[in-house]
Chain A
């Protein structure tokens, strides 16, 4: 059984765990080649809070980082199987944080 979803609409969606707590925001996906195909191995999550996102954006400029205004853009890779994507607008993290 296969379903399809649009990756460009996933970017920016907040990922919550089964308790409803916001874990992160989908920013990108890591690919793994498999023969002629490319498969998603991980989804990369960034911070949820806007202020942290702004800091990460500003941090892309070394000048702001040196001034202490920006921070490093750290995206956490989480394995594809930890995600429940039945509702593409509301991705859920099914594995407990810290496990795996």
Chain B
């Protein structure tokens, strides 16, 4: 299995099957004399923007900090919580309790619910 092919940019799904983002980053633990170990998956929080262009990402970050939810930061999922890798990556977390849904909830509470029928 290849890391980039099987994990990076894959859809992430939480324990109740909710779509919670893409694997935007992967943290490798480098150990002396031992092979690097996949330590954590990183989801959202501007990680994808950083891959596009670091300067664009920091500009974007300023706007996010200014106007967005307070808990807007990348979600790091420890490898121990990864349950299955296949069509998507299933992780044992509750997306609603994590920063993965920070913007989803912010948009819902500040915009969607203010529109009739939302």
Q: Show the binding face of A for B, using Cβ within 8 Å.
A: 1-9, 11, 27-32, 34, 36-41, 44, 80-81, 85
Report the interface size class on chain B. Answer: 20 to 34
B79 interface contact, C-beta 8 A: yes
Q: Which residues of A contact B24 (CB under 8 A)?
A: 8
- Which residues of B1-45 have CB atoms within 8 Å of chain A's CB atoms? 1-6, 8, 24-32, 34-39, 42
What secondary structure prevails in chain B residues at the interface with A? strand
Known: A6-B26, A9-B51. 17 other contacts (CB 8 A): A1-B31, A4-B27, A5-B27, A6-B25, A6-B27, A7-B8, A11-B8, A27-B4, A28-B3, A29-B4, A31-B3, A38-B1, A38-B79, A39-B37, A39-B38, A40-B35, A80-B35
B80 interface contact, C-beta 8 A: yes
- A-B interface contact total, Cβ < 8 Å: 83
Q: Which residues of A contact B34 (CB under 8 A)?
A: 39
Q: Show the binding face of B for A, using Cβ within 8 Å.
A: 1-6, 8, 24-32, 34-39, 42, 47, 51, 79-80
Residue of A nearest to B47 (CB): A8
B82 → A minimal CB distance (Å): 9
B29 → A minimal CB distance (Å): 5
A9 vs B5: C-alpha distance when bound (angstroms): 15
